[in-house]
Amino acid sequence: MDEQKGVYHINAVDEVTQFGVVCSVDKISEHYLILALEQLLETVSFSVPSFHSGNGSEYIHKRVAELLEKLRIEFTRSRSRQSNDNALAEGKNGAVIRKPFGYSHIPQRWAPLFNDLHQQHLNPCLNFHRPCFFPETRTDDPGKQRKIYRYENMMPPCDKLKSLPFASDYLKPGVSFEILDKLAHQISDNQAADQLQRARQNLFKTIHGWILKTG
């Protein structure tokens, strides 16, 4: 707006469990992306074997490569002009960022408040209280595979993590499912959604003096 950039939302999604972490930064530069990446890796409850990013120069630089190499994390990136390479994250952008926060310009100075909201309300709600569809692959007689999405397979990302074979082997040191269950059961799913909604409304009231309404 008026040649002024706004807040940038960084959205990361685990491709197996759909465990998600959203961070907000006021500039899309090397310094801020390193801080967001460190926060992302600290927030997830499990070890990260690989990291796949978009093709932007904010991700493809020496400091990101050094950080991931230090943690022994494989680094891959999307191909140019191949939007399906990052389809899961792109789909989540609409559902967990654009739907609640809209498309309106938000000045960069509000990025820290958005980041606090994500850490306190959005990320816990996404990972412990918001069910996701998980595809089931079916193969028909000609051998063609298709994915179906059954309501019986819907669950929050943390429950999906628990359902994996040898799930405890994936957890980071010092993290257990007892700790994660305690976090998940502190409030109900509806209470988590209500708290996120109230926090979002209060934030936009602080920024604009009015409550943002989205469909």
Query: Per residue in 51-99, pLDDT tens?
Result: 888 777 777 777 788 888 888 888 887 777 766 777 888 888 888 999 8
Question: What's the confidence (pLDDT) of residue 83?
Answer: 67
**Residue labelled with tokens 């389809």:** 87
Q: What's the rounded mean pLDDT across residues 157-178? A: 94
The answer to whether residue 120 scores a pLDDT higher than 90 is yes
In percent, the amount of the chain with pLDDT more than 90 equals 47
201 in Cβ contact with 209 (< 8 Å): no
DSSP state for residue 59 in the 8-state scheme: T
Question: What's the confidence (pLDDT) of residue 211?
Answer: 44
Between the CA of residue 47 and those of 19, 104, 144, what are the distances in Å? 12, 35, 34
Confidence of residue 119 (pLDDT cuts 50, 70, 90): very high
pTM of the full predicted structure? 0.85
125 in Cβ contact with 193 (< 8 Å): yes
The answer to whether residue 162 scores a pLDDT higher than 70 is yes
The answer to whether residue 178 scores a pLDDT higher than 90 is yes
Question: What's the confidence (pLDDT) of residue 75?
Answer: 84
125 in Cβ contact with 96 (< 8 Å): no
Angle at 72 between CA 70 and CA 75, to 5 degrees: 100
The answer to whether residue 214 scores a pLDDT higher than 60 is no
> 9-40 pLDDT, tens per residue?
999 999 999 999 999 999 888 888 888 888 98
Q: What's the rounded mean pLDDT across residues 156-175? A: 94
DSSP state for residue 72 in the 8-state scheme: T
